Amino acid sequence: MPKTVNIDFYKVVMPENAATTFEALLARIEQIPMHDEARTREITGDPVRLQELHNHGGHLEGDMVRTRMDTLPRKSNIETGQLALLDLDDDEGLGEETAFLYDPATRCLTIQRNRFAVSASAFAGYCTEIGAFESPITLEPIISGDAIARLREFDRVNRLEIKVAGLAGGQVLRDSPYSLAHLAEFADDYAGPVVNIEVSMGHRKGSLVRDRVRNVVDWLTGQARDGGVDVRRIEVSGSAPGDETQVLDLLESRIVEYRTVEVNRNRVSQRNRRKPSLPDCRMRASSDWLMSDSTTFPNWQVLQKRMTCGTS
């Protein structure tokens, strides 16, 4: 039975005060016994833990697990239509798994997207909590090198358009590090769950604050990837020296891969079955250089060769 697996790509940024690397932190967590409560942390209301970690040819491969304790489904018989409760002990729940790969040389995290399991942001929160850092570990979405390169080349940004939905009761946008909280307040005032905002230079010469635009784009792209904010549109128009105005659709430029894997007779996509789907993926922009901020990532063929080295 085939199952579609969505795969996202991030650059891991450790806190400034961190006296360790991400790979060393994962290795330290792996050394904590499975039965030790220190290995499990409550993230977004449910227990989360690092289930497995393996080193293959220099890259780290593992599984995160969220134990879903509440709002559990019931069993359903497709022939009789009968519903029944799951027979679970008080200390048991549903184990929702998320597979990941991490390449220390490029700081690139490749992680399975599973809305029932451990999101990328929850993974970062888990590692931050165990590492006891003063500031959080940040996962920066890797955007197509072409789109990022063009945005960096802009010496003039004349328009930024953002459309977000699902604002009713949402807290993430209200706690954003930028002035985006005003969008949530505007939605509250008019009881509208969808807000579309455009800020531009109009017919005036000059540019919007470029660094501010880039930072907002980075933050919103990350929230869209993690599902923290329902972002419907991120468009930036501007131009590089000597060029005409270009319009960049940053949501369409995010790097996401979709793979089909087989599910076993127990209806479980096991790690050793999900594992090949991650290193075997091809980026849509495989000839691009994957870039984020001032760090340049090697193209996907190089990363794939590193990730597949040593796998079985």
171: pLDDT confidence band, cut at 50, 70 and 90?
Answer: low
Report, as an integer, the average pLDDT of 117-139: 91
More confident residue, 55 or 297: 55
What are the boundaries of each domain within the chain?
2-142+255-308, 145-249
Q: Is 267 left (phi over 0), alpha (psi -120 to 50) or beta?
A: left
Residue in 13, 170, 34 with CA at minimum distance from that of residue 107: 13
Please provide the average confidence, as pLDDT, over all residues in the chain.
77
Report, as an integer, the average pLDDT of 72-90: 86
- Say which range, 91-95, 176-180, 250-254, 298-302, has the weakest mean pLDDT: 298-302
Compute CA distances 127 → 18, 26, 42, 77, whole Å. 12, 8, 12, 40
* Model confidence at 163: pLDDT above 60: yes
Residue in 248, 244, 224 with CA at minimum distance from that of residue 165: 224
More confident residue, 79 or 257: 79
* Model confidence at 267: pLDDT above 60: no
Residue in 66, 98, 65, 71 with CA at minimum distance from that of residue 86: 71
- Say which range, 134-148, 185-199, 290-304, has the weakest mean pLDDT: 290-304
Predicted local distance difference test score (pLDDT) of residue 291: 37
Q: What is the pTM of this model?
A: 0.60
Of all residues in the chain, the percent with pLDDT exceeding 70 is 73
* Model confidence at 268: pLDDT above 60: no
Report pLDDT digits (tens) over 208-221: 998 888 888 878 87
Report pLDDT digits (tens) over 193-203: 788 889 999 88
Pairwise CA distance, residues 52 & 19, whole Å: 24
Predicted local distance difference test score (pLDDT) of residue 232: 84
242: pLDDT confidence band, cut at 50, 70 and 90?
Answer: confident
Report pLDDT digits (tens) over 14-68: 998 889 999 999 999 999 999 999 999 998 788 999 999 998 888 899 999 998 8
Q: Which long-range contacts (CB under 8 A, 24 or more apart) does 35-43 make?
A: 38/130, 41/126, 41/129, 41/130, 43/118, 43/122, 43/125, 43/126, 43/129
* Model confidence at 309: pLDDT above 90: no
Of all residues in the chain, the percent with pLDDT exceeding 90 is 20
* Model confidence at 170: pLDDT above 90: no
